[in-house]
A and B are shown apart, each in its own frame.
Chain A
Amino acid sequence: MDLLWQTAVNATYAASYMALIAVGLVMIFGVMGVINFAHGELYMVGAYCVVFLYAQENFPFLLAVAAGLVFVGIVGIVMERTMFRPLRDNPLGGLIASIGFLLILQTLAVLGFGRRMGHVPPATQDKAEIFGAVLTHQRLFVILAAILLLAALWTFLRRSKFGRALRACAQDAEAASLQGISMNQTARIAMFIGAALAGVAGALTAPLVSPTPYIGHSIIVTAFIIIIVGGVGSLEGAVIAAVLYAFVHTFVTTFFDGVIANIVGLALMFAVLVVRPTGLFGARERA
């Protein structure tokens, strides 16, 4: 019973940070039609913000996380302005440019922090016990932050004018611009939010993983699987798929092993693609 609970707690944590990353990726794809291959590297940059500000310069942890969120969001805006905007009619070009950007970010991280892992001491070592399962506060932060941020995002998208514009652009960019919605403005905000979510996930989990300049690769593969299962255009789908994938992967790892968990994850993705190519929650088809 303990094992079951502990595994459920582990899975909840995994679902939280994966959801942050996947929602950001979907958001960027939804508005700009670009697959951001550098998304894992945005996570990495967020993690290195914490390495630098918190572990090296001794700023408070939460301040470092907030700085990571803003900084990576700004990196997102830079990507939008310099790459995705000029390449708006060229989604493949956008993909290639994001690959170029990924190489640049990786190299900058190596130059700035060395090629070996960054070290982040835990912000707190306190832990809670839930029915005999251990949940450290460090992990609890991630879960709470994910819930908070995603709820805020959801409210923002439903209630604000920007949110409506964002959804309009995601559904039909041309019609939206005819309605007087500024595509540039909307794309900028979407890119900020999408990148910032990846960045904050990296920043929050930095003490729990060992950030290396190359960690983005592990992240992007998982994120791809999740957005496929969820349906590429669907934010809600990304969240649900993140939960589904995290639970399946965590339980299989615990009761079988990690390699089998990866095979099961991929098989799940492939099954979804075959049965319902647009993902569990995707409706639109994008050619």
Chain B
Amino acid sequence: MPAAGAGGAVRRLAWRLRLVFLFAALAALPYLLSYSQQEIAVLLVINVLLVSSYRLLTLTGEWSLGHVVIMGVGAYASALLAKQLGVPVPLSTLLGGGAAAAVAAILSFPLFRMKGFYFLIGSFAAGEIIRLIWKRFTDPFGGPKGLKRIDPFPDIEAGFLSIDFYEPVNYYFLALVVVSASLFVLYRIERSRIGLTFHAIHWQDRLAESVGVDTFRYRTLAFVIASFFAGIAGGLYAHYVGAVNPTRFSVDQMVYVLVWAVVGGTATFHGPILGVVALTVVNEIVLRALGLDTVRPLIYGAILILSVLYLPNGLESLGTRLRARLQHWRGGPAATGSEPA
């Protein structure tokens, strides 16, 4: 295997160069966008974390309908910590992630007695119960109206440097840093022994058990980690928009996350990210620019159906297919090695 040696060094260099290019592109991005598109970009970056954390959970083969509610747990916790206890916002966001992880840990006891479809529905039920608690207990959760005037991320004032996080471009960079760091951690987890075990549980759960893997513990671990990052995404959201309410975390919103993940494809790390980027651009920018307000949901629905029908492995498979086609035209051998497993 040519992983070591000169070939390896070249590849490593290429990968670093790409990383540099990627971040350069992401850094330049807001300056190519209009002000309101910068706002969309902020929410998009937050949703990237949401959907990527969701993918970690799906590695074990479980699909949850409660992930957005878990994001909400992070958002509510962080908002309440900042509002009521005066915890500084960066810390409250982190604690919000912790709260989301803790709720997930508790929920894992009933939920991981279930599998597959039952888990899907069970997570939906658990989420609905959490939402009802928010609605029912006006103190401290604010009832159906939720919480507003949530403290924003504090401005940075250090001599000549002054950063105001009301400006979407500044919040974009803040979110980009937090989300990139989170994605890096998620990526490392997936590539680690733990991540491989998640895969093993998905594909061979009986086998994994028979060689002594405690599948319950690993499922819980995946759920807790995924929930932590969903909670962070919730905190980023709450302190940017300044308001949360139970409707914002309803199953309708969950459907979007599911759709991003599936349309993008969940076989690879970047699939769900592709999904959320592509669909957000289509829904928020292209369809709006076309002035198609009433029929927007219809077009969105048609895109969903067509993409699951004709791109069953998601958008992520599109690149592979194109490359294979290109190779074929050039007369070279098809790049079979890059087909997703």
Asked if A pairs with B, the answer is: yes
Chain A residues with a Cβ under 8 A of chain B: 29, 35, 37, 82-83, 86-87, 90, 92-93, 95-97, 99-104, 106-108, 110-111, 217, 221, 224-225, 228, 232, 259, 262-263, 266-267, 269-270, 273-274, 277-278, 285-287
**What distance in Å separates the Cβ of A30 from its nearest Cβ neighbour in chain B?**
12
Report whether A101 and B129 are in contact in the complex, using a CB–CB cutoff of 8 Å: no
Q: When each residue 117-158 of chain B gets 1 if its CB lies under 8 Å from chain A and 0 otherwise, what string results?
A: 110111011101100100110000000000000000000000
Given A273-B110, A285-B116, A100:B304 Cβ within 8 A: yes
Complex CA distance for A67 and B258, rounded to whole angstroms: 35
Report whether B125 and A110 are in contact in the complex, using a CB–CB cutoff of 8 Å: no
Which B284-302 residues have C-beta < 8 A from chain A?
A: 294-295, 297-298, 300-302
Report whether B115 and A274 are in contact in the complex, using a CB–CB cutoff of 8 Å: no
Point out which of A259, A270, A278 has the most chain B C-beta atoms below 10 A from its C-beta.
A270
Chain B contacts for A97, CB-based, 8 A: 304-305, 308-309
Report whether A266 and B262 are in contact in the complex, using a CB–CB cutoff of 8 Å: no
- B contact face: mostly helix, strand, loop, or mixed: helix
Report whether A90 and B125 are in contact in the complex, using a CB–CB cutoff of 8 Å: no
**What distance in Å separates the Cβ of B264 from its nearest Cβ neighbour in chain A?**
11
The 10 residue pairs across chains A and B that have the minimum distance between CB atoms: A103-B301, A100-B304, A107-B298, A100-B305, A100-B301, A287-B116, A104-B301, A93-B308, A277-B114, A103-B297
One of A107, A108, A270 near B126 (C-beta < 8 A): A270
Report whether A99 and B255 are in contact in the complex, using a CB–CB cutoff of 8 Å: yes
Report whether B125 and A266 are in contact in the complex, using a CB–CB cutoff of 8 Å: yes
Report whether A286 and B125 are in contact in the complex, using a CB–CB cutoff of 8 Å: no
Report whether B122 and A277 are in contact in the complex, using a CB–CB cutoff of 8 Å: yes
Report whether B309 and A262 are in contact in the complex, using a CB–CB cutoff of 8 Å: no
**What distance in Å separates the Cβ of A78 from its nearest Cβ neighbour in chain B?**
12
Q: Which residue of A lies closest to B308 (CB)?
A: A93
Report whether B259 and A96 are in contact in the complex, using a CB–CB cutoff of 8 Å: yes
Task: Kindly list 5 other residue pairs between chains A and B, CB separation below 8 angstroms, not including A37-B255, A266-B128.
Answer: A93-B309, A103-B304, A263-B129, A274-B110, A287-B116
Complex CA distance for A245 and B332, rounded to whole angstroms: 63
Q: Which residue of A lies closest to B123 (CB)?
A: A273
Chain A contacts for B255, CB-based, 8 A: 37, 99
Chain B contacts for A221, CB-based, 8 A: 128, 251
Chain B contacts for A263, CB-based, 8 A: 129, 132, 136
One of A103, A110, A269 near B300 (C-beta < 8 A): A103
Interface residue? B49 (CB, 8 A): no
Chain A contacts for B121, CB-based, 8 A: 224, 228, 232, 273
Complex CA distance for A104 and B263, rounded to whole angstroms: 17
Given A103-B300, A228-B125, A96:B114 Cβ within 8 A: no
Report whether A111 and B295 are in contact in the complex, using a CB–CB cutoff of 8 Å: yes
Report whether A110 and B294 are in contact in the complex, using a CB–CB cutoff of 8 Å: yes
Interface residue? B19 (CB, 8 A): no
Chain B contacts for A266, CB-based, 8 A: 125, 128-129, 132
Given A108-B298, A224-B124, A266-B129, A96:B304 Cβ within 8 A: yes
**What distance in Å separates the Cβ of B60 from its nearest Cβ neighbour in chain A?**
12
Q: When each residue 225-240 of chain B gets 1 if its CB lies under 8 Å from chain A and 0 otherwise, what string results?
A: 0000000000000000
Chain A contacts for B124, CB-based, 8 A: 224
17 interchain pairs, CB-CB under 8 A: A90-B308, A93-B312, A95-B258, A96-B304, A97-B308, A100-B304, A100-B308, A103-B300, A103-B304, A104-B301, A104-B305, A106-B297, A107-B294, A107-B295, A232-B121, A270-B122, A278-B118
Report whether A104 and B122 are in contact in the complex, using a CB–CB cutoff of 8 Å: no
Report whether B308 and A103 are in contact in the complex, using a CB–CB cutoff of 8 Å: no
Chain A contacts for B297, CB-based, 8 A: 103-104, 106-107
Complex CA distance for A155 and B194, rounded to whole angstroms: 52
Q: When each residue 84-127 of chain B gets 1 if its CB lies under 8 Å from chain A and 0 otherwise, what string results?
A: 00000000000000000000000000100111111011101110
Complex CA distance for A8 and B10, rounded to whole angstroms: 77
**What distance in Å separates the Cβ of B287 from its nearest Cβ neighbour in chain A?**
12
Complex CA distance for A108 and B297, rounded to whole angstroms: 10
**What distance in Å separates the Cβ of A111 from its nearest Cβ neighbour in chain B?**
7
Complex CA distance for A82 and B129, rounded to whole angstroms: 35
Complex CA distance for A127 and B289, rounded to whole angstroms: 54
Interface residue? B181 (CB, 8 A): no
